[in-house]
Amino acid sequence: MKVIAVSHGSFSKGLVESVQMLVGQQEDLVAYGLYPEQTVQTLTEQLEEELKKTPEGEEVLFLTDLFHGSPFNAVVSLMRDYKFHHITGINLPIAITILLERSSTDSIEALCRKAEETAAETVLYVNKLFEEKEEEE
């Protein structure tokens, strides 16, 4: 399974770098950014190239930064002609779960559904959490 992170600017590149600091160097993990000097069309072409060079039968998961953002739209435009999975609003904990579980999961769809369903548990207001813990004690 290939994972392709796509974002405005260097967010996806930073995500991939930080993920690899935590879980080690990863194969089949790449990042693309949409930069101010670049058009959405150019980004879309780069992503299509990446899809074309993926071996037949290898599944692909796109991770984008923002629902309805331009990188999101570029990926969605490719969903017509290519079959792949797509999660938007990615954060570091979800990216790590996906990379750690991608080789062992029975179904990429189940992994994506789980990522979505457990998203709320990955974003925490730490002060509130500590207050609740203090109240319990």
Q: What is the binding site for a copy of itself (CB under 8 A)?
A: 7-15, 17-18, 21-22, 33, 36, 65-67, 69, 72, 75-76, 79, 85-94, 96, 109, 112-113, 115-116, 119-120, 122-128, 130
Query: What's the min distance (Å) between Cβ of 103 and a copy of itself?
Result: 20
51-76 burial by CB neighbour count: b if 16+ within 10 A, else e?
Answer: beebeeeeebbbbbbeeebbbbebbe
Query: What's the min distance (Å) between Cβ of 31 and a copy of itself?
Result: 9
Q: If you search the block for the tokens 């923002």, which residue do you land on?
A: 66
Nearer to a copy of itself, 41 or 91 (CB): 91
Nearer to a copy of itself, 8 or 26 (CB): 8
Cα dist from 128 to 6, 111, 135, whole Å:
32, 29, 11
